[in-house]
Amino acid sequence: MNPRTLLLAACSALSLHAHAAAQLMSAPITVATPQDSASLVARLNALEARPGLTPDYSFRISSQHPGVTGQKITRAQHTYKGLRVFGSESVVVTNAAGDIVSVSAADRRPGLQAQAATPNPPLPADLTPTLSTDAAIAAAVQAVAPGATHRWPPSAELLIYPLMKSARSAAAAGKPDSQLNALDLEDVVDHYTLAYLVQLRMALNGKLVYYDVVVDAKTGAILKQWPALQTVTGIGHSQYNGQVPISTSAIASGFQMLDSARGTGGKYGGMAITNANHSSPNNPDPGSIYTNPSNTWGDGLQYNGGSTTNANGQTAAVNALWGLMNTYDTNKNVLGWQSLDGNNSATYIAAHVGTSYDNAFYDDSCKCMYIGDGNSFLSLGAIDVIGHEMSHGVTAATADLTYAGESGGLNESNSDIGGEMVEAYARNGGSGNVVPASGNDWMIGKDISKSGQPLRWMVKPSKDGHSPDAWSSTLKNLDVHYSSGPNNRMYYFLSQGSSADPASDSYSAYLTRTPAAMSGIGNDKAYRIWFKALTTKFTSATNYADARNKVLLAAQELYGATSKEAIAVQRAYAAINVGTDMDEASGGGGGGGDGGGEPAERIVNGGFENGATGWSGSTFVIGAHPAQAPYEGTRYAWLGGNGRRASETLTQRITIPASATSAQLSFALHIDTDETSNTVYDTLTVTLRAATGGAVLATLATYTNLTPADGYQIRSFDLLPFKGQNIILSFAMREDRSQQTSFVLDKVSLRTN
């Protein structure tokens, strides 16, 4: 008897439509050993085995942090002849067995077919620097601040630096500049230079001077530089929360502001608030942890310039501790993400930096935050300010968005988003596993403003007089605190929706489909989608167009490819001139899917509802059976489930247009097995093959009997490196002689822009 017809009589009651459930991040992961990293690099090299990838190309593991429960996220920098290629990396999500769940990449490697239909330019033949690291550092210091002193030791990394330029898509060739959409342009490599990335963390005249500088390794010329200090300073124009609970620790003399329940390790062994006691911002000393004979702290009033340790001086520390606790709790309780890095590493905030210091900043060198008492501002420890700064730490641990150009604007926007979501959580009691629908004001830094004017408005960024409301080709030239504006507005629309009234702050002329006022999905869903995109898909080089595609993919993975949440992402980005608008009800609208149009589906009959149409190979596996539930519709492809030696393959020819700006493959996969041994017996291998000759271009993933799951899981892969090619997508199943494993496939999709 064929087990395929029987095996899941008891399994048909499973909840297989799993994407609607909230998923939490895993507990902190174990730091990878050198052997683990070498093994992963070997697997990545094998995964990337395709034409053009010689042994000169490899990977360097830069960071690892938790994914959703049972998964790990690894960031792997691309290297060529042992040198890192700046801004080129892969983000790989794996499950507990090491199987690939998703891959997202920014590929700027020399000689490969990446962003354009033609290969990237070759490298100079000579990769030997004429400049020493010391000379590179000296050149950078001379360019930035010759008289400054080093607060942290400077560093210089020799790397391959791609100098980028903007290229129009074929569809936008004749468009006037004023009509360009973000998806009309793509960043391509103009040429490569051997360079040093010099990181300077200096101080001068009472100010911190943190810069990253790219120095030509042959000539010493400065190729690019950008500020690296992440602050909330803006156009300058509380206390803020009344009586609040704070978590402290008992000591022999009373109590200290050390929260040992949140975070481990670090400088103080837990989350701590310290007294910088007017230490100069030129080289701030965090000082000692705040202590008090009783466990009642602060007087709730603005600091008056006197003692930093009496009740009035403690108030800034109360603000800081309450803000830090709520930032930690928002991400942990809602998302499962622990501390800044997901691995529960403790951080600290130092209060009373400088005298009347009008700033607060996050310093990744110590993974900590410093808060001034304010002069034009009130004390800078408001809840959204702390959430903002601590969110810089999350970015640094994950996407590490380069703090310049469009990626720098997205870096700042992520912190504004984090600040607002922490504010909503904190002001609704600071508990629960969702971000409340209200409680935040969508204004950054309003509480610290003496005039009542915030630093930034998320609903209409242009109200500050500097930030644009929508993307334009000049956005990358702005200060990152201003280039964050359009993405902030996108997030407001995604959460709250828009207005059809042209007089409203929440009106967008770019929303031209039905209804004119787009629907929002609320704070909780918007934050889950954004955080998933940041941590599992963004790279350091992500720009607005790339962010739109990856936020959309995150929404599709969480809530479904045609869900209202995915439609809301597309409309919210369209509202800021990134992509085109679409109707909410039908999911239609827009153009044909290339360049600036709406995504086009390249898979024929991906849900198998039309039987074998579009598919070749073992098409008898397509159908509907009472023993298996579909992901959606009525049919699916059931590979395996035989309980005997068997080989089954489904293939489809696909073409990715040369003009594509994104190409996202996804499919829903359910795995169950009768195997009980901890040995791989049955496999499903997903590959891309050459349309002519059938040679394997890439192995996307291999799934086995060791990775069963109670429901469908969405798997996703970035196929943009294969644009301009005709290829074959292949799902190949192999079962051994006994004990079935079923690989149930549904909702295969390849969407290109």
What is the number of domains present in the chain? 4
Pairing type for strands 291-292 and 360-363 reads: unpaired
- Give CA–CA dist 362/349, Å, rounded: 9
Whether 421 is covered by a domain: the verdict is no
How do residues 623-681 score in pLDDT, each as one tens digit? 998 888 898 889 999 999 999 999 999 999 999 998 887 788 989 899 999 988 878 89
Q: Are residues 476 and 512 in the same domain?
A: yes
Q: Are residues 359 and 323 in the same domain?
A: yes
Residues forming the active site:
389, 481
This prediction's pTM:
0.78
User: Is residue 116 a contact partner of residue 122, using CB atoms and an 8 Å limit?
Assistant: no
- Boundary residue ending a domain (399, 418, 438): 399
Q: Which residues of 16-40 are buried (b: 16+ CB within 10 A; e: fewer)?
A: bebbeeebebbebbeebeeeebeeb
How do residues 615-624 score in pLDDT, each as one tens digit? 999 999 999 9
Enter the tokens of residue 294: 């009783």
Mean pLDDT on 133-149:
94
CA 26, 30, 31, 35 torsion-angle sign: negative
Q: What is the DSSP string of 708-730?
A: --SS-EEEEEE-GGGTT-EEEEE
- Boundary residue ending a domain (360, 376, 399): 399
Whether 422 is covered by a domain: the verdict is no
How do residues 252-275 score in pLDDT, each as one tens digit? 898 899 988 899 899 998 899 999
Closest CA to 335 of 434, 415, 431, 440: 434
- Give CA–CA dist 360/384, Å, rounded: 12
Q: Are residues 167 and 114 in the same domain?
A: no
Q: Are residues 488 and 609 in the same domain?
A: no
Angle, CA of 60, 136 and 222, to the nearest 5°: 95
Whether 102 is covered by a domain: the verdict is yes
Q: Are residues 585 and 606 in the same domain?
A: no
Q: Supply the Cα-derived Rg of the chain in whole angstroms.
A: 26
Instruction: Give the pLDDT band (50/70/90) at residue 48.
Output: low
More confident residue, 540 or 708: 540
Enter the tokens of residue 750: 């390849």
Q: Are residues 540 and 631 in the same domain?
A: no
Task: Give the position of tokens 């080709």.
Answer: 473
Enter the tokens of residue 375: 């002069």
Average pLDDT, the chain: 86
More confident residue, 94 or 3: 94
User: Is residue 89 a contact partner of residue 160, using CB atoms and an 8 Å limit?
Assistant: no
More confident residue, 118 or 397: 397
Whether 18 is covered by a domain: the verdict is yes
Task: Kindly report the CATH number assigned to the domain that includes residue 376.
Answer: 3.10.170.10
Closest CA to 742 of 709, 700, 716, 699: 709
Report whether pLDDT(577) > 90.
yes
Mean pLDDT on 230-245:
53
How do residues 502-527 score in pLDDT, each as one tens digit? 999 999 999 999 999 999 999 999 99
Q: Are residues 88 and 12 in the same domain?
A: yes
Whole-number pLDDT of residue 535: 94
Report whether pLDDT(469) > 90.
yes
Whether 117 is covered by a domain: the verdict is yes
Q: Are residues 165 and 38 in the same domain?
A: no
Task: Kindly report the CATH number assigned to the domain that includes residue 713.
Answer: 2.60.120.260
Whole-number pLDDT of residue 205: 79
Instruction: Provide the percentage of residues in the chain whose pLDDT is more than 70.
Output: 90
Closest CA to 286 of 200, 365, 376: 365
Whole-number pLDDT of residue 50: 56
User: Is residue 641 a contact partner of residue 741, using CB atoms and an 8 Å limit?
Assistant: yes
Mean pLDDT on 589-595:
40
Q: How many CB atoms lie within 10 A of CB 153?
A: 9
Whether 234 is covered by a domain: the verdict is no
User: Is residue 630 a contact partner of residue 711, using CB atoms and an 8 Å limit?
Assistant: no
* Lowest mean pLDDT across 128-137, 203-212, 528-537: 203-212
Q: Are residues 474 and 607 in the same domain?
A: no
Task: Kindly report the CATH number assigned to the domain that includes residue 594.
Answer: 1.10.390.10
Q: What is the domain extent for residue 729?
A: 3-121+602-752
User: Is residue 574 a contact partner of residue 511, using CB atoms and an 8 Å limit?
Assistant: yes
Q: Are residues 94 and 166 in the same domain?
A: no
Q: Are residues 76 and 140 in the same domain?
A: no
Secondary structure letter of residue 331 according to DSSP = I
Whether 653 is covered by a domain: the verdict is yes
How do residues 178-223 score in pLDDT, each as one tens digit? 889 998 888 888 999 999 999 999 988 777 788 999 999 999 999 9
Angle, CA of 52, 750 and 673, to the nearest 5°: 95
Please provide residue 141's backbone torsions phi and psi, each rounded to the nearest 5 degrees. Answer: -60, -45
How do residues 80-92 score in pLDDT, each as one tens digit? 999 999 999 989 8
Q: Are residues 139 and 280 in the same domain?
A: no
Mean pLDDT on 671-694:
89
- Boundary residue ending a domain (193, 228, 263): 228
In SS3 terms, 493-504 reads as HHHHCCECCCCC
Whether 417 is covered by a domain: the verdict is no
Whole-number pLDDT of residue 11: 27
